[in-house]
Structure formats: structure tokens, C-alpha cells
């Protein structure tokens, strides 16, 4: 009986290990931990409550906060209303370590209700005075009022050790107030 019990324990332990390993595998697939907007939120000022892993740029927004009514997955999405400034960064993510020469995909879901917005992949390698890679990537052609999936393919050039994601006002040269929601932002190796 004792032996049976210890065997049962061993199987239970094995099952836990298998589940844990599968979970860890899935976690490795997404390199960015702050793209689902299901984490903590911090009040920055009267207009901004910022999601964990992201920093707003002062004066470039009219609203940043969680949305529970319009979301793609889970309980919450990010709601952003920009102030009308050309090419202004609204929200920057923490750095994501990358390896030069590897192809990465930044995938995200966006729901635009007014204007246009772009997601940029920016070199975040220190020192940032002389970024190895500061060319922004644009995602355009948003359809207002529905969730759309977009992808940005990115190969960090020589010397690039870290990227960050940046939400930037307007899709082109148009200066306009933008209202948009973001959810399920994933960074992965292609
Ligand atoms: Ca979510």
C-alpha cells in the first residue's frame, strides 16, 4: 500500500513537471511580458494610468488607461487617445533583449476609432545618444472600429542588443488626434 502511494506521488510529481515544462515552453515563445495589458496599472497624472512595462511621454496624450469594454483578449486592453502632435511618441515599452541577425516578429492587435497610429520598433541599446538602429517601422491602413492584426518583421543589425516598442501619433505625416486600443502585443523569433 505504501509503495502504491509513493508511486502515485511520483506520477503526480511527473504530471506537474510535464505541465510546468509545457508552460515554460509557451512562455519562451513570447519575449515581451507586457503586451496583454492584464498586469498592474499605475496612475501617472490626471490623464494617464499607465500599464506595467510602459512609460508615457508627457504632453503627448489626452488619455492613457485600461479598457474593459473594448478588448481583444482577457479582461483588459490599452486605450490611448493622443494629443495632436506630429510624430510624437505616446508610450514606450521597457527594453526587450534581442540578438543581432535573428529575425523577430512583433505582432499586435489594434482597434482604431479615430485617426491613425503607428507601432515602432526602435533600437534601445545603450548608449542611446548614438542608436545603432533608430529607423521606425510603420503599420498603416487601419480600418476604424474593428480589431485588426498587424505584424512587423525586424532583424536587429550589428551592435543592436535591445529593442523597445513605441506607440507613435499618426500613421503618416497627418497631424490628428487619435483614439485607439491595443491588445495582445507579442514579440517572438520568426
Ligand atoms: Ca488583454
- Give me the tens of pLDDT residue by residue for the chain, a chain 190 residues long: 566 656 666 666 666 555 555 555 444 589 999 999 999 999 999 999 999 999 999 888 999 999 999 999 999 999 999 887 767 889 999 999 999 999 999 999 999 888 778 888 888 887 765 555 555 555 555 677 899 998 888 888 888 899 999 998 765 656 577 889 999 999 999 9
Distance (Å, whole) CA 103 – CA 107: 13
Handedness of CA 164, 165, 168, 171 (dihedral sign): positive
Alpha carbons within 13 A on the beta-carbon side of 86: 4
In the reported structure, the alpha carbon of residue 70 is separated from the centroid of ligand 1 by a whole-number distance in angstroms of 10
The pLDDT of residue 128 is: 64
In the reported structure, the alpha carbon of residue 183 is separated from the centroid of ligand 1 by a whole-number distance in angstroms of 5
Distance (Å, whole) CA 170 – CA 158: 29
The pLDDT of residue 137 is: 57
The pLDDT of residue 174 is: 60
User: Are 123 and 104 spatial neighbours (Cβ–Cβ below 8 Å)?
Assistant: no
In the reported structure, the alpha carbon of residue 182 is separated from the centroid of ligand 1 by a whole-number distance in angstroms of 8
Eight-class DSSP state of 144: B
Distance (Å, whole) CA 135 – CA 116: 19
Q: Name 36's Cβ contacts closer than 8 Å, sequence gap at least 6.
A: 73, 74, 183, 184, 185
In the reported structure, the alpha carbon of residue 73 is separated from the centroid of ligand 1 by a whole-number distance in angstroms of 4
- Collapsing DSSP states into helix, strand and coil, what is residue 1? coil
Q: Which of 139, 143, 161, 164 is nearest to 152 (CA)?
A: 139
In the reported structure, the alpha carbon of residue 45 is separated from the centroid of ligand 1 by a whole-number distance in angstroms of 23
The pLDDT of residue 11 is: 62
In the reported structure, the alpha carbon of residue 28 is separated from the centroid of ligand 1 by a whole-number distance in angstroms of 19
The pLDDT of residue 4 is: 60
The pLDDT of residue 3 is: 64
The pLDDT of residue 125 is: 82
Q: Which three cell numbers stand for residue 125?
A: 541599446
User: How far from 177 is each of 41, 66, 91, 117, 181, CA to CA, in Å?
Assistant: 24, 19, 15, 9, 14
Q: Which of 180, 186, 16 is nearest to 96 (CA)?
A: 186
The pLDDT of residue 71 is: 97
Residues in a beta bridge with 123 = 163
In the reported structure, the alpha carbon of residue 36 is separated from the centroid of ligand 1 by a whole-number distance in angstroms of 4
Q: Please tell me the CATH code under which domain 32-189 is placed.
A: 2.60.120.260
Amino acid at each position: 500500500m505504501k509503495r502504491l502511494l509513493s508511486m502515485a506521488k511520483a506520477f503526480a510529481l511527473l504530471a506537474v513537471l510535464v505541465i510546468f515544462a509545457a508552460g515554460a515552453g509557451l512562455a519562451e515563445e513570447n519575449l515581451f511580458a507586457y503586451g496583454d495589458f492584464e498586469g498592474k496599472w499605475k496612475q501617472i497624472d490626471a490623464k494617464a494610468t499607465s500599464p506595467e512595462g510602459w512609460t508615457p511621454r508627457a504632453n503627448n496624450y489626452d488619455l492613457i488607461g485600461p479598457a474593459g469594454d473594448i478588448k481583444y483578449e482577457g479582461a483588459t486592453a490599452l486605450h490611448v487617445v493622443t494629443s495632436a502632435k506630429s510624430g510624437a511618441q505616446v508610450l514606450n515599452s521597457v527594453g526587450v533583449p534581442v540578438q543581432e541577425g535573428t529575425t523577430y516578429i512583433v505582432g499586435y492587435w489594434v482597434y482604431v476609432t479615430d485617426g491613425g497610429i503607428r507601432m515602432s520598433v526602435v533600437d534601445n541599446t545603450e548608449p542611446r545618444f548614438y542608436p545603432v538602429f533608430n529607423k521606425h517601422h510603420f503599420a498603416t491602413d487601419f480600418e476604424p472600429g474593428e480589431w485588426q492584426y498587424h505584424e512587423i518583421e525586424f532583424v536587429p543589425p550589428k551592435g543592436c542588443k535591445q529593442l523597445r516598442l513605441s506607440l507613435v501619433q499618426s500613421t503618416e505625416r497627418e497631424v490628428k488626434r487619435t483614439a485607439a486600443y491595443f491588445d495582445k502585443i507579442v514579440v517572438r523569433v520568426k
